[in-house]
Amino acid sequence: MNRTIVNIVIDLIAACQLLGMLATGYILRFPLPPGSNKTLSLWSYTRHQWGDIHFWFSLGLLIILLVHLALHWNWIVTVIGKRCYVAKTEHPSLLRAGIVTSIIIALIMIVFGWTAQHSVRVIVTPMQGMHFGHSDQSRQLKEAIALNL
């Protein structure tokens, strides 16, 4: 199989993964909105199950995009090297660029994971009915309703 056919197959798989993500994202946002997990299902799947499917589509897309980058790595390194005036030769070291890029991405992922893991807090009061950025307005509205009754 030649390189062009491989690129076309990888791009078609990526497009299908993206369409799957869009479809499941739409399902999670509109037909099964947040809070509907206990009362609604679509094609016998609840919101959480559709969330799992959405996760696997996104992981598949990430893997396909990494394969796509690997297939085009020579071009990427050459273009970035020329644009940043780093490449002194026609063919920069692809291995060195790959190792440096992998280390940078790994560090970013580790810092993100550590930060997310250590930033989780327990919610003392339930947030049912509260909307992001409108907690004061919701509280004021509830107080106004209580005073009028």
Q: What is the pLDDT of residue 148?
A: 65
Kindly tell me if the per-residue pLDDT of 17 is higher than 90: yes
Q: How confident is the model over 21-36, as a mean pLDDT?
A: 88
Q: Does the predicted TM-score (pTM) go above 0.85?
A: no
Kindly tell me if the per-residue pLDDT of 18 is higher than 60: yes
- For the chain, domain boundaries: 3-120
b/e per residue, 10-30, with b = 16+ CB within 10 A?
A: beebbeebbebbeebeebbee
Q: What is the pLDDT of residue 143?
A: 67
Question: Bigger pLDDT: 4 or 137?
Answer: 4
- Could you tell me which residues are beta bridge partners of residue 42? 45
Q: What is the pLDDT of residues 55-110, one digit of tens each?
A: 999 999 999 999 998 888 888 777 777 777 665 666 667 777 788 888 888 899 89
Q: What is the pLDDT of residue 44?
A: 86
Kindly tell me if the per-residue pLDDT of 43 is higher than 80: yes
Distance (Å) of CA 23 to CA 31, 33, 60, 142 = 11, 14, 15, 37
